[in-house]
């Protein structure tokens, strides 16, 4: 069975490929970062005219998982046109092309479509209210995908894990600083639901396998502050949690605004899958085991130096 992954060199893409390459024939689309990956790589710029259709006709995949995006919030603020191309227009094109070829699609969105002003959790029926270019273009991408291809899956996610650069996830930020005894801040007033990226990949496959469609919240079932997340990383790695200083996001001096509350309910997804989503402690244990087994070094060996 063929599974095409766009954005395969990103945090989700590389871990998805690594996780599933023994179960599926993985074909990843990458602009050139990967050179020695243990799965097939197609080197293309997805923004090139007609390339999406060309790739689908060549590969003829059973499933497509669209991980391609411009996910740097500050870069999106500085280059909104590029953000629109990658986060809205490209998903629309992929959704249309998949529908025309009767290929099943899962499109990756973000929890950041909400402004965070609600007390309590957000469900799929709550109205989004994006507060920045990234969130707005990702929300527009959701609408574009489901308008073009109502049978597609759109998954709002928040994940952490080991990346090619070693600097793409919040978990890596805390680990990198803690391992060098560097002081850092953790936001006490930003609530989110982190999930290990490998759990995200495994859950997407279950969603595809069971024929789900439409909008789902695919995040961890436990909400916590980013400060608490850092403390949990420190404790699991037996490092000093006192190196993490609690801080308000309002005093962080960030270019792009962040939502204070991204607590998303996963009840719809767990109900439709007929099982609970992986809990935070299990994912953190796996993240630590990956570290012990040199998993970060393994995936980084796939990239262009």
Task: Answer whether 136's CB lies under 8 Å from 143's CB.
Answer: no
Query: Any residues with CB less than 8 A from the CB of 213 and at least 6 apart, and which?
Result: 150, 151, 152, 153
pLDDT at res. 250? 80
Q: Residue 253 belongs to a domain with what CATH number?
A: 3.40.50.720
Which residues form the domain of 193?
A: 2-300
The token pair that represents 242 in the structure block = 């006192």
Rounded CA separation 108/92 (Å) = 12
The token pair that represents 9 in the structure block = 């060199």
Number of domains observed in the structure of the chain? 1
Helices (H), the chain: 11-20, 51-59, 73-78, 80-84, 90-100, 133-148, 170-179, 197-209, 226-236, 267-273, 280-292, 295-300
Question: What is the tens place of the pLDDT at every residue in 151-193?
Answer: 999 999 999 999 999 989 999 999 999 999 999 999 999 999 9
The dihedral of CA 87, 92, 98, 102: what is its sign?
A: positive
Residue 221 within any structural domain of the chain: yes
Task: Answer whether 258's CB lies under 8 Å from 191's CB.
Answer: no
The token pair that represents 25 in the structure block = 């024939």
The token pair that represents 80 in the structure block = 């909104």
Residue 20 within any structural domain of the chain: yes
Residue 270 within any structural domain of the chain: yes
pLDDT at 305 over 70: no
Question: What is the tens place of the pLDDT at every residue in 17-61?
Answer: 999 999 999 999 998 889 889 999 999 999 999 999 999 999 999
pLDDT at 75 over 90: yes
pLDDT at res. 114? 97
- Whole-prediction pTM value? 0.96
Residue 192 within any structural domain of the chain: yes
The share of the chain scoring above pLDDT 70, in percent, equals: 99
Residue 305 within any structural domain of the chain: no
pLDDT at res. 35? 87
Rounded CA separation 147/89 (Å) = 12
Residue 139 within any structural domain of the chain: yes
Count the neighbouring beta carbons within 10 Å of the beta carbon of residue 291: 16
Rounded CA separation 133/262 (Å) = 17
Could you tell me the CA-to-CA distances from 303 to 14, 115, 197 in Å, in that order?
Answer: 10, 36, 19
Residue 274 within any structural domain of the chain: yes
Average pLDDT over residues 134-146: 98
Rounded CA separation 2/6 (Å) = 13
Residue 107 within any structural domain of the chain: yes
pLDDT at res. 20? 98
Average pLDDT over residues 108-127: 96
pLDDT at res. 32? 81
Average pLDDT over residues 86-98: 98
Task: Answer whether 266's CB lies under 8 Å from 218's CB.
Answer: yes
Rounded CA separation 130/133 (Å) = 8
DSSP per-residue string spanning 18-38: HHHTTTSEEEEEESSSBSS-S
pLDDT at res. 258? 80
Question: What is the average pLDDT score of the chain?
Answer: 96
Count the neighbouring beta carbons within 10 Å of the beta carbon of residue 32: 12
| Largest Cα span, the chain | 55
């Amino acid at each position: 069975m063929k599974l095409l992954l766009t954005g395969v060199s990103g945090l989700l893409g590389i871990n998805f490929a690594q996780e599933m390459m023994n179960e599926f024939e993985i074909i990843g689309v990458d602009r050139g970062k990967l050179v020695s990956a243990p799965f097939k790589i197609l080197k293309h710029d997805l923004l090139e005219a007609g390339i999406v259709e060309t790739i689908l006709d060549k590969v003829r995949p059973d499933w497509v998982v669209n991980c391609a995006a411009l996910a740097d919030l500050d870069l999106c603020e500085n280059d909104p046109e590029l953000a629109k191309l990658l986060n809205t227009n490209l998903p629309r094109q992929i959704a249309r092309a998949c529908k025309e070829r009767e290929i099943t699609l899962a499109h990756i969105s973000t929890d950041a479509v909400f402004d965070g002003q609600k007390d309590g959790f957000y469900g799929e029926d709550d109205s989004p209210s994006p507060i920045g270019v990234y969130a707005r273009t990702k929300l527009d991408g959701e609408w574009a995908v489901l308008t073009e291809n109502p049978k597609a899956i759109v998954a709002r996610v928040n994940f952490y894990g080991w990346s090619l650069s070693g600097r793409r996830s919040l978990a890596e930020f805390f680990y990198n600083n803690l391992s060098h005894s560097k002081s850092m801040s953790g936001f006490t007033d930003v609530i989110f639901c982190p999930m290990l990226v490998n759990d995200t990949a495994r859950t997407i496959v279950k969603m595809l396998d069971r024929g789900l469609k439409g909008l789902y919240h695919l995040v961890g079932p436990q909400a916590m502050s980013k400060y608490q997340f850092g403390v949990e990383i420190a404790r699991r790695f037996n490092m000093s949690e006192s190196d993490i200083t609690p801080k308000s996001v309002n005093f962080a001096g960030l270019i792009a605004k962040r939502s204070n509350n991204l607590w998303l309910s996963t009840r719809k997804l767990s109900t439709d899958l007929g099982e609970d989503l992986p809990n935070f402690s299990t994912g953190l244990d796996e993240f630590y085991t990956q570290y012990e087994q040199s998993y970060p070094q393994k995936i980084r060996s796939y990239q262009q130096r």
